[in-house]
Amino acid sequence: MIRVFVSGCYDIVHAGHIQFFREARALGAHLTVSFASAEVLWLHKHRRSSLPDDHKRALLAAFNMVDEVVVGTGQDEGLDFKADFLRLRPDILAVTDDDKYSQLKRDLCAQVGARYVVLPKTPPQFSPVSTTQIVRLIRAPEEAPLRVDFAGGWLDVPRFAREGAYVVNCAISPMVSLRDWPYERNAGLGGSGAWALLNGRDGVLAEFDLGVGWQDPAIIAETGLCVWRSGRRPGLELKHNGDFLRGRMALYWTGTPHDTPDVAKRSRDYDAIVRAGAVACEAVWKSDLALLAEAVRESYQHVQRPEGMEPLPGDPDASGDARAALPDNLRPLAWKYCGGGFGGYAVYLFGDRAQRDAACLLPKFRAIEPFVAVG
Q: How high is the pLDDT of residue 211?
A: 56
Whether residues 271 and 354 fall in one domain: yes
CATH number at residue 283: 3.30.230.120
Does 152 share its domain with 299? yes
Which has the closest alpha carbon to 245: 374, 341, 334? 334
Residue 201, in any domain of the structure = yes
β-bridge partners, 171: 147
The domain of 174 spans 140-370
Q: What is the pLDDT at residue 208?
A: 57
> What's 27's domain CATH number?
3.40.50.620
**Do the domain assignments include residue 16?**
yes
- 338 assigned to some structural domain: yes
By CB atoms closer than 10 A (0-12, 13-18, 19+), residue 18 is: middle
Query: What local confidence, expressed as pLDDT, does residue 260 receive?
Result: 73
Cα–Cα distance measured from residue 335 to residue 275, given in angstroms and rounded to the nearest whole number: 17
Considering the domain boundaries, does residue 33 fall inside one?
yes
Render each residue's pLDDT in the chain as its tens digit; 375 residues. Answer: 999 999 998 988 888 889 999 999 999 999 999 999 999 988 888 878 888 999 999 999 999 999 999 999 998 888 999 999 999 999 999 999 888 899 999 999 999 999 999 998 766 665 666 666 666 666 767 899 999 999 999 999 999 999 999 999 999 999 999 899 999 988 999 998 898 888 887 766 656 555 568 999 999 999 999 999 999 899 999 999 999 999 999 999 999 998 777 788 888 999 999 999 999 999 999 999 999 999 999 999 999 999 999 999 999 999 998 999 999 999 999 999 998 899 999 999 999 999 999 999 999 999 999 999 986
102 and 182 share one domain: no
Q: How far apart are CA 12 and CA 303, in angstroms?
A: 50
- Of 39, 82, 26, 35, residue with least CA distance to 61: 35
Residue that terminates a domain, selected from 82, 112, 136: 136
Residue 121 and residue 149 in one domain: no
| 308 in Cβ contact with 263 (< 8 Å) | no
375 assigned to some structural domain = no
Residues 234 and 350 in one domain: yes
pLDDT of residue 359: 97
Which of these three, 136, 151, 182, is where a domain ends?
136
> Total structural domains in the chain?
2
Evaluate the omega torsion of the peptide bond into residue 332 and state whether it is cis, within 30 degrees of 0: no
Same domain, residue pair 306 and 179: yes
- pLDDT tens per residue, range 58-96: 999 999 999 999 999 998 888 999 999 999 999 999 999
Q: Which residues of 290-322 are buried (b: 16+ CB within 10 A; e: fewer)?
A: ebbbbbbbbbbebbbbeeebbbbbbbeebeeeb
Q: How far is CA 311 from CA 296, 300, 307, 318, 360, in A?
A: 14, 9, 11, 5, 19
Whether residues 130 and 162 share a domain: the answer is no
Whole-model pTM? 0.71
Cα 81–chain centre separation = 36
Same domain, 237 and 345: yes
